[in-house]
């Protein structure tokens, strides 16, 4: 059995930490690629998940905070 690269995918904090551990200063770029792939695959929920992580990594306000 292979070990997953990412921790539990429903935990944004763990995903942010994993992205930083794996990609360092390029974590936001890596997460943006994940979001782009989700978008082009038509996975709207995954896309929203990655966008929230990207926003956290870059200091942008969450989309939810604006509601």
* Tens digit of each residue's pLDDT (9 = 90 or more) over 4-52: 555 556 788 888 999 999 999 999 999 999 999 999 999 888 898 999 9
Instruction: Write the CA distances from 64 to 22, 25, 28, integer angstroms.
Output: 27, 25, 19
Q: What band does 55 get if pLDDT is binned at 50, 70 and 90?
A: very high
| pLDDT value, residue 2 | 47
Q: Which two tokens stand for residue 11?
A: 């935990």
- Supply the pTM of this predicted model: 0.76
Q: Which two tokens stand for residue 54?
A: 């990207």
> Are the C-beta atoms of 45 and 9 separated by less than 8 Å?
no
Alpha-helical runs (H) found in the chain: 12-23, 27-40, 44-58
């Amino acid at each position: 059995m292979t070990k997953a690269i990412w921790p539990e995918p429903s935990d944004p904090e763990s995903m942010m930490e994993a992205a930083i551990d794996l990609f360092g200063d390029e974590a936001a770029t890596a997460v943006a690629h994940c979001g782009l792939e989700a978008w082009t695959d038509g996975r709207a929920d995954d896309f929203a998940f990655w966008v929230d992580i990207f926003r956290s990594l870059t200091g942008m306000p969450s989309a939810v905070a604006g509601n």
